[in-house]
Structure 1
Amino acid sequence: MASQPSHPFRSPAVLALADDLSGAAETACALGGAVRLSLTADTVAGADGDLVVDLDSRHLPSAAAAEAVRKTLHGVRDRLLYKKVDSQLRGNLAAEAAAYAEGAKALVIAPALPAARRTVTGGVVHLDGVALHRTDGWRAERSAAPRSIAEALTGLAVRTVPLNVVRAAPDALDAEFRRIAAAGAHPIPEAETDADLDAIAAAALRLGAGFRLLGSGGLAAALGRALERTPVAAPEKSTAPLLFVVGTAEPGAVAQIAQLTALGAHHVPLDPGELTSGTARLPDVTGTAPTVLSIDGSAGLSPGAGRALSTALAALALTYPGRPDLVLTGGETARVALDALGIRELAPLGEIHHGAVRSRTPDGRTVVTRPGSYGAADSLRRIATALRPDLLRP
């Protein structure tokens, strides 16, 4: 099986693009070191060091999303490029990938995320061994899940690289990537483990800047392991109120919230109709225990309503007193909340668990972002314990 390189690659600074905030934070943390996370592409020109940009393009029409990629990359030189994509292939994947491919020899496409049990075999994403289109991973989307990565990337010529080649000698994998690129296509290497992703990232680095990486947080972490970066300092302790804003329709969120409330957190489920009509209100919350705001999905949610609900939920959260530290689940929820606060940049400090990234705002507030589909039943409890170890009762 492929193994991690014996020595780090020295490279130019990384410029990574993501289509939502939780994915951008995940990527920044995966790369390691003092990475800046920007909520605006205006900071790319002249920026020093590693930079991750949240394009906030998940909700845009496909043409606008592609243009956001082109505009951000225009004039960029001497940067190692990375494009973060959703491990379940959601968003404007085809349009953004096509724009990202402009000027490249090939894209090395690897959306596998072994830490979340998401693998790629036969050119198909699998969740816990089940093909993506046979799962409910796209239940909140307006369309059905693609049956393959090639289908999700309609318009790009792609070729699958079998697992035995990924795990072969480095020269063999390099040669296969070159062969596919010479034929005008883009390689989709199979991957089941982090070691597979290490081999894929290492091959792209050996082949040079013309081979651009496109993948999930798993591939970003493999890139981070291959680069030489200085760890950031441990975060300082905060005593501010703690507010969880759960803006995801994932069924697992119910169990995650239940573990927090069992330890004394206040849970405020909010009616979707009242949220979008602007009539929802926060109850009086007393004491020091964390508060959890969530969307009540017991009656079902309309597909495609996520952006409006996230915006309304974030607006309501901002009325919470005491300038709380924030735990924001769901990329859209995180982005609209920080936009409303006028926060344009984050400094990632590390992961609490996979995908749950703790960051610091320029004015010193702590923010944790986490994709809505991530985390076991104890996810929110683990986050609360990391941020406020003495706040919840045992």
Structure 2
Amino acid sequence: MSNSKEAATSDPKFIPASLILVAPRVNSGGVGDYAQELISAAIPSFSCFREIRTGGPGDAGILDLVRYRAQLAEVIDKAASDGPVVVHFELSAASLAPFWLLAGCPRHVIITATVHDPPWAVWWPFRFKSVATRKWLHHGIHLPLRPVSKQFERLALRGTALFALTDVGARALREAFPACTAVAARHFIPSRAALKPAFDRPLAVGLYGHAAKGKGFERLVELRAALPPEVDVIVAGRGTEKLSHVPGVTILGAVEGAEEDAFFESVRAILLPYDKTSRFYGKMLPASGVVSRAFAYGTPVLGFDSGTLGEASKVGGLIAVPNSVQALADAASMVITDQAELERLESEIGELQKEHSVRQAVLPFVSFWRDAVDALPPGREPLP
């Protein structure tokens, strides 16, 4: 896909270069959706924009990678004929294709990437389509090769500028990838419909997001038992329709548009019983897209004090508790019945909506890209 636009070179915000995005397709997962909104805010700063969209989690085979690589090489060649090129990748633990395209990307372009699951870029570099559906094969390959895959990631990303969406994530990237530049950015809060105040909504809590391991959906039975019976539990997100039925829990499945608005207006808070620590692979430090979506609707969040949520709780709108379902249920019961506390959290969220809009969140990216292009010698491409 190509989207070119004229821009006045006298505009200090203009970057005289082409921007190429490599990311999972929209609606294939949170990373693809994130990339769509963020890059839309960056496009006006460039003279030309093109993109390569890949399959989402567990949806890349070797033949797919060959096809994607040919597409990327063609797009880069066309863009390079017009001047400098910035190629930006969206990397996550489950989305394999962007990582392998970065690993083979020509080094005569400026290469940057957002790492959604620090401290590693992809975690399971051999989780091809044929492997993703076989748990024993997936772990049988990646566990013994863990030391090798870490070194391979360092080699593949050497010299790449890596963006993390939290401070703790950026620090982890600096340790994991000492040969890379790590930049701390922020996850944006998208614009969504204004809903009624949280205290005026039904007495309910929600769990939201893609139904993947580590997102807390596996703790629904325990959570339902720990909450008072008068508090409803409502679950929504891609893949949640496949979850086992839990008495006292309403499962909606994927929600978009007006259905998403209605879901958030049906709960007073979102709960995140996340624990992204594996005794085999280590601790993952993702910035929560669910938190950003909840904040977009003015909805407070409560979650475990692990990963990046502890950092987020210091900024506002979010309460972090010890990694205990009972502690989370107790805190949620108190918060959703306390009008003053809900109003305090909503006020904090209102400030964050202003500070973390898409336009604000894209600034560290655009600033880095502008400096990288400006640093190129006249008439020269980036050095290998």
TM-score range, shorter chain: 0.3 to 0.5
TM score, norm. by length of structure 2: 0.38
Q: Which structure carries more helix by proportion?
A: 2
State the structure with bigger RCO (CA 8 A, min sep 6), 1 or 2: 1
